[in-house]
Amino acid sequence: MAVNEAERRAMTRALELATFGPRGVNPQVGAVILSPDGDVLAEGWHHGAGTPHAEVDALTKLAPGAAAGATAVVTLEPCNHTGRTGPCAVALIEAGVARVVYALDDPGAVSGGGAERLRGAGVSVDSGEQADHAHRIIDGWLTAQRLGRPHVTVKWAQSLDGRAAASDGSSQWITGPEARADVHRRRAAADAIVVGTGTLLADDPSLTARDGDDLYPTQPVPAVIGSRPIPADAAIRRHPHAALAYDTHDLPAVLADLHGRGIQTVFVEGGPTLASAFVAAGLADRVLAYLAPVLLGGDRLALTDVGVASIDQARRLTVDEWVPLGADLLAIAHPAAGAPPRATNAAPAPDAAQESDISHEGAR
Asked whether 88 and 58 are in contact (CB, 8 A), the reply is no
Task: Give residue-wise pLDDT tens across range 16-58.
Answer: 999 998 876 788 999 999 999 999 999 999 998 788 999 999 9
Q: Which pLDDT score is estimated for 167? A: 79
What is the greatest pairwise CA distance in the chain? 72
Question: What whole-number distance in Å separates Cα of residue 233 and Cα of residue 236?
Answer: 8
DSSP for residue 348: P
Residue 156 one-letter amino acid: W
Q: Which pLDDT score is estimated for 339? A: 58
Contacts of residue 344, Cβ cutoff 8 Å, sequence gap at least 6: 252
Contacts of residue 296, Cβ cutoff 8 Å, sequence gap at least 6: 159, 161, 163, 165, 166, 167, 174
Contacts of residue 331, Cβ cutoff 8 Å, sequence gap at least 6: 287, 288, 289, 291, 319, 321, 322
pLDDT band at 354 (very low <50, low <70, confident <90, very high): very low
Length of the chain: 364
Asked whether 40 and 57 are in contact (CB, 8 A), the reply is no
**CA pseudo-torsion sign 327, 332, 336, 342:** positive
Position 333 pLDDT exceeds 60: yes
Catalytic residues: 55
Contacts of residue 29, Cβ cutoff 8 Å, sequence gap at least 6: 18, 21, 45, 46, 53, 54, 74, 75, 76, 138
Weakest mean pLDDT among 63-67, 172-176, 277-281, 323-327: 172-176
Angle at 336 (CA atoms; ends 286, 191), nearest 5 degrees: 15
Task: Give residue-wise pLDDT tens across range 200-219.
Answer: 888 888 999 999 889 999 89
More confident residue, 99 or 22: 99
DSSP for residue 301: B
Position 13 pLDDT exceeds 90: yes
Asked whether 317 and 333 are in contact (CB, 8 A), the reply is yes
pTM of the model: 0.76
Position 160 pLDDT exceeds 60: yes
Burial of 122 (0-12, 13-18, 19+ CB in 10 A): exposed
Domains, the chain, in order of start with CATH, read 5-137 (3.40.140.10), 140-354 (3.40.430.10)
Q: Which residues pair with 301 in a beta bridge?
A: 163
Phi, psi (rounded to 5 degrees) for 329: -140, 130
Question: What whole-number distance in Å separates Cα of residue 288 and Cα of residue 358?
Answer: 20
Q: Which pLDDT score is estimated for 116? A: 92
pLDDT band at 117 (very low <50, low <70, confident <90, very high): very high
259, 286, 326, 356 from 175: Cα distances, Å: 32, 20, 9, 20
**Per DSSP, which regions of the chain are E strands?**
30-34, 40-45, 71-76, 99-104, 124-127, 151-159, 192-196, 210-211, 214-215, 221-225, 244-246, 265-268, 286-292, 317-325, 328-335
Question: What whole-number distance in Å separates Cα of residue 203 and Cα of residue 220?
Answer: 18
- Element holding 187 (H helix, E strand): helix 177-188
More confident residue, 286 or 141: 286
